Structure 1
Amino acid sequence: MPDRSTASGRAPSARRHGGAFPPPGAGRPRAAWWPPTHLPSPLQQPAALRALRAVLVIPGLFALTFEGLGNLQIAVFATFGGFATLVMAQFGGTRRDKLVAHLGLAATGSVALTIGTAVNGITWLAVLVTVPVAFAIFFAGAAGRNAASGITAALLSYVLPVATAGTMSMVPDRLAGWWLASAAGTAAVLALSPPSPGHRLRAAAAASARTLAACLDSSMRGTATTADAEAYRDAKHELMNAFDATPYRPTGLATADQGLAAVVQLLEWCAGLVDDATREHPGLDQAAPADRELFAAAASVLGQAGRLLDDSGTDGAASRHDRADALVAAAAEMDRRREAAAAIDRSVPSGARASGKPPRGRSVPADGDLESAQARAGNAFHAQVISLAVRSIVADTMIASRLAGPDTIAARRRSWYGAPQDAAPRGRRGALADALGIITSNASMRSVWFVNSLRGSLALAAAVLVADVSGVQRAFWVVLGTLSVLRTNAASTGSTVARALAGTAAGFALGALLLLGIGTSQPALWAALPVAIAVAAYAPGALPFAAGQAAFTVMIVVLFNLLVPVGWRVGLLRIQDVALGAGVSLVIGLLFWPRGSAAVVGDDLADAFRIGAGYLTQAVGWALGTRHEPADAGPAAVTAGIRLDEALRGFLAEQGVKRVSKRDLAKLVLATTRLRLTAYSLAGLHSAGPAGDGDQQGAAPARAALAQATAELAGFYDRIATQVGRPFPGQVVLPVTVPALASLDGHGDGRGDGDEGPTDLVRVISGCAVPHLLWVDEHLGHLRQHASDITGPAARVAEQRRLPWWR
């Protein structure tokens, strides 16, 4: 397929005059006959469909393998494998995504099942092997939402054989049961899934792009109202809610998924740029003609990107290609206007361009012209940076829509991982290495995935040890009990233990009453089995956790009485075993990471601010010509941002009272993103030569002032990092104040804090005809304006970090 991302067929340039915009860090029409479109409305609900699939598959698998084949091993692993595939694993995405995820679960389960069977006969070996196997399964969830959603199901394939007596001769039968369940379960999921109502994240991104385009267009025409600004802010909030709503990132490592994630971050950043532009310079209609044309082109392209992102499913593939062609043409026109505006910036001194008067060479403009120069330079800066943001949105939208060519994908992939903008493409092997780098970047105690995986693997190993040493009859239930109640902090684990025991006791009582009523009659138990499976399958996510435990216990009582009629005693054994497993989880929770994700969020915030400050220093040095190598802290900054995002999701998904407000955390996280992306933008600006080589008159003092302002800002972010970071005994954390950046002028930053006139720095730069220095000043001013937003939230986070975990 030709590359539709650029009019020329080439990858969009990562560097333009005036800097590069900072990036973050499809299919056929649906078949009208697809069966679920005709299901009654209640059966369209996820829990109801899950229960329906389980009832149709699991009893049939059990009947076929136990009554038909008469093989106990196949029957047990087919039944529990069916429950894992249909209930525990809840994969999302397209039918292709679900098929790939289920195949991955089947393959992973096969390996885990074989290992579990091989080591179950030797206690010390089983305990030792459980740690790396469980860790690998937990940690693989960092690969994406479907990998994370399949963790419990994959672990079941290991804990069942490792805690159940067996020999290697049983592996073929066990694998047969597992694959039979995988095949039947996957077919049921594909056949009985409703057509996608549309990707919520894509729809939110489309709405955000359209409303942002409308606001920018109305501002450029001079007809903007408060309703326009409120509309795009509301759309941005809905977009970020859709992105942050799940405990796992809604995008995985697939190229299209990463493109969509990049679109989300770009739209959030672009909304901030538009907000700043319209707030600082309300009259965009008063901008220079070239800048007005560029604003109009950017608004048009944004609107068309929103239409391409709108995956409502009502249009065919041909219509999508038409919209893509229109988007590419509009982006090419925007590129032409941006180059024309940049050419004017390079050829006309700032004061002359602003005033419309003939160039005055290097003479210092008068105050009136200087005020106009500052306003027009601000408009030019925002026009250029917004258009570069929109250009990146176009490329990532094409990638997310699976319409981009390999050159565009290679160019954008470098930016996703924070690689230097001039880095050469690395091909498919490089892309795989970059994707795997996201996973390996989590191999740190700063990563919520790493800590959770370590904690979970140790808990399961301890459960295997306790189950074997205690000599319980059903060791599997001890390990499953540990897995069921393990949470990310001690308080929520303790709460879940109580609810698990209450639910199990209730299930035991219900099962005992059921057996008292129907006895151990095989026909009656067979009739009760589908009902028990339906309730147990419906409960997750739809009913309280205790109710789900009760339903699962009733299903176990019925199932095991079909296997070996023992009456109500099986329920009593399950209570004892769950109590043991839950106790293991509680002890591990107290010993390892009692604060849960909250501690990692603080550590990751500190890393993001500290690394971002270093990245900013490098980028400004490169832009000023005082640094001889391009900024190379980008990959580390991207890694810190990804870890922070994952930790925040884990924290918000934890049960219990949140002692730090979501609003405070959102401000701090947004500040880290703003810092990183501003640094990336500055890394695209580069002086024509080293500082001091033929410096224009007055440029050296301007460079020194900008370097000093950068040092002050970097110091501010370093102090914020210390404040929110891990406390140590005797530490005294002083309040953090926003730097005045007095080096940029003689009386403050000159950005609207009073009735000051134009800044001295603007006067100097306007006189020495080095316009890109003014753009460095605009970048730093952008950070300075938002710095006061985070001092309060940082202080409150620091206060909470210094309290004991039980408080």
Structure 2
Amino acid sequence: MPDRGGLEWVRARDPGLQAVRRSARVTLVACLSFYVARYVFDDPIAAIYALFGSVASGALSHVPGTPGERARALLASLPVAALMVALGTVLAVSDWAAALGMLGVGFAVTYAGVGGPKLVGLANGLQLFYILPCFPPYQPETLGLRLCGLAAGVLLMAAAEVCVWPQPSPGRYQDRLADACETAGRALQSLALEPPVASERLDRLLETAQRLRMSHVPQDERPASAGSRDRALSQGAAYARHLLAQTGQLAEDAVHRTPAPDPVRSRMLLASATACHSAARALRGEAPPPLGTPCAAAAAAFEEHRVRRPVAGASSATTVRDGAIALDITYTASFLVTTVRIALGAPVSPAPARPAGRPGPFWYAGQPATALYGHRLRAHLTPRSVYFQNAVRIALALAAARLVAGGLDLSHGFWALLTTLTVMRTSAAGTRTTVVPAVRGTLVGAGAAAVLLILAGEHTPVYAVAMPPVFFLAFTASTLLGLGWGQAFFTVAVATAFTQIAPAGPELAAFRIADVVAGALTGVLVGLLAWPRGGTGELGRACSRLLDQSTRAVTEITDCITGTGTIGDVLHRTRLAQLIAEASYAQFASERDTDGAGPPPPTDFQAIMLAGNRVLTMGQTLADHCPPGALAAWPLSAAHLRDAARHLRLTALPLTYDLRSGSMRPPPVEPPDRSVPTDRTVIADVCAASGGRAPDPLLYYAVDAAIWLASLQRVVNAIRRPAEDRAAVPG
């Protein structure tokens, strides 16, 4: 142990003493409810269920949010917990009935976590509510007592979340988004009024964009639920990152040359800056929800203005490009405002009617939470979803453990299932890392429990006095000392509890060892057989599909507006691929949080999801507003757009292969191909085709598409950057 004081040592491992507070709270409720049921009402059955009701809802359930939100989640879970106890009580009639019930309950409870972190956090506790009663003795007549004990434990735990050393509220992701909006607003205001922008401001834009990445956000802060608020915050972060990247692009250009004065463009940038500032203040609760109409009006005014202006030569090309980027920023700011309004519960303008396969970007606005949850349930009901995979893995492991415990006639067999639940991780590697400390800790704890049982004998007061400190150490040790120590103390703790129910000898410790070994081996075996790579394995495949569908969508949309193709349902397929990839990344991030970060991955997975979001947003806008074949009259511009789209597709193809195979090659070192069309190439085409006159309004769709393709190319180029350069990824 370090030379620092004991409290400093604890704080170093438990910042804010959160684990200590939580352990003290659970210990108080668990022991109090147990003592009252056992010694005041003389009801051992209610005592056991009150004890495990507290442990399941307090120690095994990790619900993010404020103390009030955690308490409400526990209260809402009480009817489901009662249903689990009732099912377990009824199906305990036979081993096969109990195992089949465990299979269904294990899948349903785990898969329900698709709805968000709160449901994921409740899953282990709800599993235990079925596990505990599904073992002999078969006593359906005791169901009432079991439910009374369960209700007492859960209700007291919910009250304790608010009243007894409550946990501090986690940070809010919307504050991060507010900071990003404020930073973008300041940069846009500077660009509009006093270009050029200093290089340190460019660094600030990049740093702010990085803080929005989910890999940089604690799990409790990540907006990951199926509800419209979290969807809007997540989507708003993608818009904010793109807005910051495009603002940085405009600012970087301004550093090298002073842009030509353009009052209409400046007013548009100021409108975007105002929208960002308003969004930031609204997210912090300092102002009402922002309005997107100023951005829309400024963008419309700029579009009317630019089509009346003659273009010719290099200076006009630069002006056209800067204006197109500024227009992109303004539309993105308008989208960002819409997401902020949705996140704050403010009404948004109804979306225009669209074909079923092409819903708008804000299709979820105004939808009830139940409908959004149902949509996510259906979307993930596929073997390619990590939610589906985890549900199957947990269900198979628990059902197998129940059959093993019944077949071997293990005394206190529910400890085998609890061990399986404890050691199971979303990957085989994660499961293996938990098995050794769990078994080792159990052996140590069983030895200590045997000594205690021999020395104390049948003196029940000894166990009653020892129970609170041992339970407190059991709940705290996992955080401070590791899983093995937690298992050791927990083994002693359960011995102190069960000995107060019925006298027991040292054989209780031996039973505990047998149960833990059986449960651990079952968990390892299932973990090796069913999707052993977890989120890491599925993330590569999910991102490969997303990148493939996104670049297909880009080529189809480009072919459509240039007159050589049509748009099918590729945007719908891209949206589904985005949904699966985001879920896979969320699990991948949680595995790294749980099992240790390790070296940074060779792939910027979030860049792939940023590209997917950009394809969906701007691709849908082009598909909606640019008529099919609109650019066919300008074959040179159309050809350059198609070439740029195909180059994007060719850049992505090796990445999609490497992501599927799981072996990422290093980025190419050869210089870029100078013959590949860029946004500047297309803009030069537009200027040349206009011959010094104001371009045809349709030609500006070529400019907007070129800016879109260029931003996507930058993101895709950054996907396979070395780890030391990944901090420089735009957006």
TM superposition score normalised by structure 2: 0.87
After superposition, the Cα gap between the structure-2 partners of 1:43 and 1:390, relative to the gap in structure 1 and judged at 3 Å, is closer
Counterparts of 1:689 and 1:54, CA distance in 2: 60
Matching residue within 390, 413, 419 for 1:452: 390
Aligned-pair CA distance for 1:780: 1.4
- Given that 1:259 and 1:397 are in contact with CA atoms closer than 8 Å, whether structure 2 keeps it comes out as yes
| Residue equivalent to 1:784 | 713
Partner of 2:11: none
Separation in structure 2 between the aligned mates of residue 381 and residue 757 of structure 1, nearest angstrom:
12
Between the aligned partners of 1:293 and 1:43, the Cα distance in structure 2 is 47
CA contact (8 A) 2:65 2:169 kept: no
Q: Is the 8 A contact 2:637 2:685 kept in 1?
A: no
Whether 2:360 is the aligned partner of 1:421: answer: yes
Alignment of 1:125-140 (within 5 A): 125-140=97-112
Q: Deviations over 1:73-122 (max 9, x none)?
A: 22211111111111111222245532442133212212222222222222
Q: RMSD across aligned C-alpha pairs, in angstroms?
A: 3.5
Q: Deviations over 1:195-223 (max 9, x none)?
A: 85563312222222222222232333125
Q: 1:95 to 1:287 in 2, by over 3 A?
A: farther
Q: Secondary structure at the match of 1:463?
A: helix
1:386 is matched with 329
Q: Which moved more, 1:135-144 or 1:162-171?
A: 162-171
Structure 2 regions of 5+ residues with no counterpart?
1-13, 724-731
Match of 1:644 in 2: 581
What secondary structure is seen at the aligned counterpart in 1 of 2:130? helix
Look up the match of 2:277: 303
Residues 17-44 of structure 1, C-alpha deviations (whole Å, 9 max, x = no match) = xxxxxxxxxxxxxxxxxxxxxxxxx996
How far, CA to CA, are the matches of 2:160 and 2:686 in structure 1? 68
| d(CA) in 1 for partners of 2:712, 2:105 | 45
**Residue identity opposite 2:660 in structure 1:** G
Whole-angstrom distance in 1 between the partners of 2:453 and 2:114:
44
CA deviations on 1:633-672 (whole Å, 9 max, x unpaired) are: 334323322322322232343369889953533x243134
Q: State the partner residue of 1:397.
A: 340
Contact 1:444 / 1:450 at 8 angstroms: preserved in 2? yes
Contact in 1 for aligned 2:667/2:722 (Cα 8 Å): no
Aligned to 2:498: 560
Q: 1:337 to 1:515 in 2, by over 3 A?
A: same
Contact in 2 for aligned 1:616/1:679 (Cα 8 Å): no
Please report how far the alpha carbon of residue 514 of structure 1 lies from its aligned counterpart in structure 2 after TM superposition.
3.8
How far the C-alpha of 1:739 sits from its partner, in A, is 12
Change (3 A) 1:414 1:548: farther
Letter in 1 for 2:637: A
Letter of the structure 2 residue corresponding to residue 263 of structure 1: G
- Relative distance call for 1:285 and 1:137 in structure 2 (3 A) is same
Match of 2:47 among 75, 86, 100: 75
Q: CA deviation at 1:615?
A: 2.1
Give 1:291 deviation, angstroms.
1.0
**Paired residue for 2:233, among 253, 260, 275?**
260
Deviations 1:487-518 (A, max 9, x none): 22223322211100111122223333444554
Is the partner of 1:662 in helix, strand or coil? Answer: coil
Q: Which residue of 2 aligns with 1:763?
A: 688
* DSSP-derived class of the 2:137 partner: coil
Partner residue of 1:607? 545
1:349-360 paired onto structure 2 within 5 Å? 349=310, 351=311
Task: Within 5 Å, give how 1:239-254 maps onto structure 2.
Answer: 239-241=212-214, 244-246=217-219, 249-254=222-227
| 1:57 maps onto 2:29 in alignment | yes
Change (3 A) 1:265 1:107: farther
- Matching residue's letter, 1:714: R
Instruction: Return the offset for 1:540.
Output: 4.5
Of 229, 235, 253 in structure 1, the residue corresponding to residue 208 of structure 2 is 235
2:714 partner amino acid: Q
Of 186, 190, 199 in structure 2, the residue corresponding to residue 226 of structure 1 is 199
Matched, 1:210 2:182: yes
Q: Tell me the alpha carbon deviations over residues 287-340 of structure 1, each in whole angstroms, 9 at most, x when there is no partner.
A: 5221122112212321232222236xxxxxxxx4xx126x43xx4433332221
Of 252, 255, 259, 1:279 maps to 252
Per-residue Cα deviation, 1:518-576 (whole angstroms, up to 9, x for no partner): 44422222111111222223345444111211121121011011111213332221111
C-alpha displacement of 1:579? 0.7
> Relative to structure 2, which stretch is displaced further, 612-621 or 545-554?
612-621
Residue in 2 aligned with 1:348? 309
Alignment-mate amino acid for residue 219 of structure 1: L
Q: Distance in 1 between matches of 2:210 and 2:155?
A: 41
> How far does residue 379 in structure 1 lie from its aligned partner after superposition?
1.2
**Residue in structure 2 matched with residue 335 of structure 1 by the alignment:** 296
User: Structure 2 counterpart of 1:324, which letter?
Assistant: P
**Aligned partner (choices 609, 617, 639) of residue 680 of structure 1:** 617
TM superposition shift of 1:414: 9.9
Q: 1:122 is matched with which residue?
A: 94
SS in 1 for 2:307: helix
> Structure 1 residue 653 and structure 2 residue 596: aligned?
no
Aligned position for 1:595 = 533
- Pick aligned residue for 1:479 from 417, 426, 447: 417
Which residue of structure 2 lines up, in the alignment, with residue 34 of structure 1?
A: none
After superposing the two structures, state which structure 1 stretch, 705-714 or 492-501, moved more: 705-714
Report if the CA contact (8 A) 1:102-1:182 is conserved: yes
Aligned partners of 2:549 and 2:570 also within 8 Å: yes
Structure 1 residues 287, 412: CA separation in 2 closer, same or farther (over 3 Å shift)? Answer: farther
Say if 1:765 and 1:165 are closer, same or farther in 2 by CA, change over 3 A: farther
Do the aligned residues in 2 keep the contact of 1:608 with 1:644 (CA within 8 Å)?
yes
Under a length normalisation based on structure 1, what TM-score does the superposition of the two structures give? Answer: 0.79
Which amino acid letter does the alignment assign opposite residue 300 of structure 1? T
Between the aligned partners of 1:193 and 1:127, the Cα distance in structure 2 is 39
C-alpha separation in 2, matches of 1:204 and 1:425: 23
CA distance in 2, matches of 1:279, 1:72: 72
Task: Work out the CA distance in 2 between the residues paired with 1:732 and 1:209.
Answer: 34
Find the aligned partners of 1:627 and 1:101 in 2 and give their Cα distance.
51
Cα distance 1:399–1:428, how it changes in 2: closer, same or farther (>3 A)?
closer
Give me the whole-angstrom Cα distance separating, in 2, the residues matched to 1:718 and 1:52: 54
Separation of aligned partners in 2, 1:708 and 1:738: 20
Cα pair distance change 1:236/1:786, threshold 3 Å: closer
For the residues of structure 2 that align with 1:674 and 1:448, how far apart are their CA atoms?
A: 21
CA distance in 1, matches of 2:61, 2:361: 42
Cα offsets for 1:420-470 (capped at 9, x unmatched): 3399999646x7434422222222222111111111111111101110111
- Cα pair distance change 1:217/1:653, threshold 3 Å: same
- Highest relative contact order (Cα 8 Å, sep 6+), 1 or 2? 1
Deviations 1:776-798 (A, max 9, x none): 1221122233443235679xxxx
**Structure 2 counterpart of 1:344, one-letter code:** H
Q: Does the CA contact (< 8 Å) of 2:295 and 2:333 recur in 1?
A: no
Shift of the 324–663 alpha-carbon distance from structure 1 to 2, 3 Å rule, reads: farther
What amino acid maps onto 2:200 in structure 1?
A
Structure 1 contact 95–190 (Cα < 8 Å) conserved: yes
> SS where residue 347 of structure 1 aligns?
coil
* In structure 2, C-alpha distance between the alignment counterparts of 1:109 and 1:732, rounded to whole Å: 45
Q: Which residue of 2 aligns with 1:11?
A: none
Q: Which amino acid aligns with 1:647?
A: S
